[in-house]
Amino acid sequence: MDEIYSLQSEVMKILASPRRLEILHLLADGPREVGRLADDLGISQPNASQHLAAMRSAGVVEAERDGREVRYRLADPEVLTACDLMQQVLLRRLARLGALSHERLAVPDGRPAAPDSAIGGG
């Protein structure tokens, strides 16, 4: 197996957390301190630090010290492009599923089926 697949897998595991995706999008606006990120997310500072440490180890974010504060920033803003592309794929999928659901609930004359007939009732 190509090493790039292993690296990609590690980054994708890190980004499989909704909270980490939130952090990623907050950092898109620029570097932030851990405390500010924690406040923005409504989580504890230790919890934010744990997420950031995992993201840092995967190379998704970088840390820079500013006096006593540590600011985090995106290591490469293109990671947002990848996440946005995935969101577009998911939105199209949801739209297709919604259309399919609508088609299945419609009766032959085009009107929506009654709730009982949609589940096989009478």
**Are 63 and 57 spatial neighbours (Cβ–Cβ below 8 Å)?**
no
Average pLDDT, stretch 56-70? Answer: 93
Is residue 105 situated within a structural domain?
A: no
Average pLDDT, stretch 66-85? Answer: 93
Closest CA to 51 of 29, 76, 26: 26
Is residue 107 situated within a structural domain?
A: no
Is residue 108 situated within a structural domain?
A: no
Is residue 10 situated within a structural domain?
A: yes
- Domain count across the chain: 1
Q: Sorting pLDDT into bands at 50, 70 and 90, what band is 88?
A: very high
Is residue 20 situated within a structural domain?
A: yes
Please give the residue range of the domain that contains residue 60: 3-74
Is residue 116 situated within a structural domain?
A: no
Query: Which pLDDT score is estimated for 103?
Result: 83
Q: Sorting pLDDT into bands at 50, 70 and 90, what band is 101?
A: confident
List the CATH number of the domain containing 17. Answer: 1.10.10.10
- Stronger pLDDT, 68 or 119, i.e. the higher one: 68
Is residue 121 situated within a structural domain?
A: no
pLDDT digits (tens, 9 = 90+) for 12-50: 999 999 999 999 999 999 999 999 999 999 999 999 999
- Stronger pLDDT, 108 or 104, i.e. the higher one: 104
Percent of the chain whose pLDDT exceeds 90: 75
Is residue 89 situated within a structural domain?
A: no
Angle at which helices 34-41 and 45-57 cross, to 10°: 110
